[in-house]
Amino acid sequence: DGGITQSPKYLFRKEGQNVTLSCEQNLNHDAMYWYRQDPGQGLRLIYYSQIVNDFQKGDIAEGYSVSREKKESFPLTVTSAQKNPTAFYLCASSPNSPISASTDTQYFGPGTRLTVL
Amino acid sequence: AQTVTQSQPEMSVQEAETVTLSCTYDTSESDYYLFWYKQPPSRQMILVIRQEAYKQQNATENRFSVNFQKAAKSFSLKISDSQLGDAAMYFCAYRSEGGGSNYKLTFGKGTLLTVNP
């Protein structure tokens, strides 16, 4: 089945440690995104990537890093520099079609809940 | 910058009845897209409906329809014949037309919908 997978579903980290969240898609989408969700808040964009080997900072990129070496994969690293990393993290992808932007709807993975102990 | 406001933190509806969720947004752009996403207890974001701003006709998807008022910058979601499975957090989101950082979604803070049997 086509879709977006995120792993792990739950992740615990000690303060001062870096941790990497996985996001994989087999939808052949060009664009991928990382969002953070806090209680009582909507989603906020951390990083996005429109093509392989290219990515851009979103609204809250400080303390995070990403890579996009393959079209299917867009891992997010939460570094020790992130002051308040406990949150729910959602990955999304979209076709990013230059021909028809109207079809550029974002589809989401199931999310990863990160807790800092 | 665009903002999205959902003024109803919580709503409730009786099963089989109709409910309307409100969303307003602020933008200086003329071309954009609006979305409603549903987030059930599983926390996966599911696309409910999408509206292109250049289209005057309101979008519909089975029991879900929108009332898009471009001049008023209003985008409400109507759920008809409510079902228990409709219970979820509903997010309104805005996306600019065009490329670059315009691909990001700007979300409201959500409305928690409860469906009573």
Find all residues with CB under 8 Å of A80, minimum gap 6, and list them. A15, A16, A17, A18
- Average pLDDT over every residue of B30-51: 92
d(CA A28, CA B94): 24
d(CA B101, CA B105): 9
d(CA A82, CA A28): 31
Are B43 and A111 inside 8 Å of each other by CB?
Answer: yes
Are A45 and B105 inside 8 Å of each other by CB?
Answer: yes
The Cβ-side half-sphere exposure at A77, using a 13 Å CA radius, reads 10
Least trusted range by pLDDT, from A12-21, A93-102, B89-98: A93-102
Tell me if chain A has a CB within 8 Å of the CB of B55. Answer: no
Are A33 and B47 inside 8 Å of each other by CB?
Answer: no
Q: Is the pLDDT of residue A103 over 70?
A: no
> CA of B13 to nearest chain A CA: how many angstroms apart?
21
The chain-wide mean pLDDT, for chain B, equals: 92
Helix, strand, coil share of chain B (percent; to 5): 5, 50, 40
**pLDDT tens per residue across span B58-68:** 999 999 999 99
Tell me if chain A has a CB within 8 Å of the CB of B32. Answer: no
